[in-house]
Each structure stands twice: as structure tokens, then as C-alpha cells.
């Protein structure tokens, strides 16, 4: 499977508190893509996102022979997110340097022809199929609460002064329950994972145009970073693109 990762500090920040990685477990024939956007000051945010991605990668790559079914993977990833949350929360309580730190966390596990997602925060995962783009995750943000209550529209949320306030992050509370999604993968489709430094600058329609353009996956990834910076680049910008190839369907 082809994939590309890009992470850029942006034009206004001096430190990149985003972290992203793709882990390939060749023995299990599975792939895990991870994006995290840290918060809590330069040291805390950078530490939180890097630690989250490292811990989830270690657990994924060390999956043993007992991890076989989809439920086994769901349990492993869920438990790891809970463990990461506990570790970061405890660290922040014990060391004033890390007080208030946390991180968004989005995981996309590709298992045969299924994608399993765990989500906390306002980083996002999109699926591009045919000529359509669909946002899989739902932001844990203040403006989404206002949208759900009918106080503002989605269009108003895009320019709301508090649109960057998130209501849920890994490490900021003693316990956490991540959102989980599962959906089928289609041949010749794409997955797009990104932090809000990208999604706040590029609307879905433009994302779709870039993904459908006749260019390489690497060129598409570069275009996302270039455009987000061109439109201001006030935040760190991170994107992972995965191209889903022809999928073999096993008939029982």
C-alpha cells in the first residue's frame, strides 16, 4: 500500500507539536496510521503527541499471535489509548513542566478490507471514494457542541472565534473513552488523516479536488502543505495520505 506523510511547522509557529507515523506490521499484514496534535506549551505539546504516537506504535508492532480477530485489534488499540491517557495525565500531575498538556489522537487501522478508527480531539480522518469525500470523525470541539444544539450552523462554525477550542484530549482528564468507527475500504480509494492546521485552511471540496487530480500521492501531499501555508499557515500542518489498492475479497 502506498502512503505519504507530511508535517510542517507552518509560517507562524517556531515548534512543530504535531506527530504522525505509519506502522506496517508485515507479519499480521496490517497497517496503522496515526496523527496527533499536541497542546500545553512547546514542551508539553511536543512531548504529548510524540509519546502518544510512540506508545501506540510500540503496542501495534509488538502484537503477538493472540491478536487475530478484528475484536482483538479493537481491544488492543482501545486499551493502548487508555494507557496513553493515564500515562500523560499522571506525568502532567507530577511534573509542573507538563501541566495542562494533552494531545489529539487519530488512529486508522487497515485490516483486510476494513478500516477501524479511534478518535479523540479535532484532528480528522476523511475517506475519498470515486468523486466523493466523507469526514469519518466528528470533532470534539466547542463549536460542534453549538452545532449539535442548533445554536450555530456549520458555515458559522468555520469562522467562529472559538473554533479551535477542543472539549476532549488524550492526557487532559483522568479517564477517557475514544470514539470508534468502522467502515469498509473500497479499491482505488484514499484515506486522509490530518491535524486542524490543515482542515481549518482547506475545505472539503478543495481536498477532494486535490485528491482527484492526476498527480502522484507525494505531489498531492505536498500540495496540501503548500496550500495551507499559502492561506496563512498559522498552525502546524500535518497530513497522511493512504492509497487503497485493489482489494482481495475472500469468499466464505
Residue 249 lies in a domain: no
- How confident is the prediction for the chain on average, in pLDDT? 92
pLDDT band of 251, cuts 50, 70, 90: very low
- How far apart (Å, rounded) are the C-alpha atoms in residues 49 and 176? 16
- How far apart (Å, rounded) are the C-alpha atoms in residues 74 and 78? 6
Under 8 Å CB-to-CB from 27, ≥6 apart: which residues?
none
Count of structural domains, the chain: 1
User: What pLDDT score does 43 carry?
Assistant: 78
Residue 119 lies in a domain: yes
- How far apart (Å, rounded) are the C-alpha atoms in residues 101 and 46? 9
Query: With contact defined as beta carbons under 8 Å apart, do 105 and 136 qualify?
Result: no
Greater confidence (163 vs 88) lies with 88
Grid coordinates in use for 164? Answer: 479551535
Query: With contact defined as beta carbons under 8 Å apart, do 191 and 241 qualify?
Result: yes
Residue 121 lies in a domain: yes
Residues 134-181 have pLDDT tens digits of: 999 999 978 888 878 888 877 777 777 776 678 899 999 999 999 999
The whole-model pTM stands at 0.93
- How far apart (Å, rounded) are the C-alpha atoms in residues 215 and 42? 35
What sign results for the dihedral spanned by CA atoms 178, 104, 55, 86? negative
User: What pLDDT score does 155 carry?
Assistant: 75
Residue 113 lies in a domain: yes
CATH code for the domain in which residue 67 is found: 3.60.40.10
Residue 251 lies in a domain: no
Residues 189-211 have pLDDT tens digits of: 999 999 999 999 999 999 999 99
The phi and psi torsions of 12 (rounded to 5 degrees) equal -115, -25
Domain extent, residue 44, equals 2-244
Amino acid at each position: 500500500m502506498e502512503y505519504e506523510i507530511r508535517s510542517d511547522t507552518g509560517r507562524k509557529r517556531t515548534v512543530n507539536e504535531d506527530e504522525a507515523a505509519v506502522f506496517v506490521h508485515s507479519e499480521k499484514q496490517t497497517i496503522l496510521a496515526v496523527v496527533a496534535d499536541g497542546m500545553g506549551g512547546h514542551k508539553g505539546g511536543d512531548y504529548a503527541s510524540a509519546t502518544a504516537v510512540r506508545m501506540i506504535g510500540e503496542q501495534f508492532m509488538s502484537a503477538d499471535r493472540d491478536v487475530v480477530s478484528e475484536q482483538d485489534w479493537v481491544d488492543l488499540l482501545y486499551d493502548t489509548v487508555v494507557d496513553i491517557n493515564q500515562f500523560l495525565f499522571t506525568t502532567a500531575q507530577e511534573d509542573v513542566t507538563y501541566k495542562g498538556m494533552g494531545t489529539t489522537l487519530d488512529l486508522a487501522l487497515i485490516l483486510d478490507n476494513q478500516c477501524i478508527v479511534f478518535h479523540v480531539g479535532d484532528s480528522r480522518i476523511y475517506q475519498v471514494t470515486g468523486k466523493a469525500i466523507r469526514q469519518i470523525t466528528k470533532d470534539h470541539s466547542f463549536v460542534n457542541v453549538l452545532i449539535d444544539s442548533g445554536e450555530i450552523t456549520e458555515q458559522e462554525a468555520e469562522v467562529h472565534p472559538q473554533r479551535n477550542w477542543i472539549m476532549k484530549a488524550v492526557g487532559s482528564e483522568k479517564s477517557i473513552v475514544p470514539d470508534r468507527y468502522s467502515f469498509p475500504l473500497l479499491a482505488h480509494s484514499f484515506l486522509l488523516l490530518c491535524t486542524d492546521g490543515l482542515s481549518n485552511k482547506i475545505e472539503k471540496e478543495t481536498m477532494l479536488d486535490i485528491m482527484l487530480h492526476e498527480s502522484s500521492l507525494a505531489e498531492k501531499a505536498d500540495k496540501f502543505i503548500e496550500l495551507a501555508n499559502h492561506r496563512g499557515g498559522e498552525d502546524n500542518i500535518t497530513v497522511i495520505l493512504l492509497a487503497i489498492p485493489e482489494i482481495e475479497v475472500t469468499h466464505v
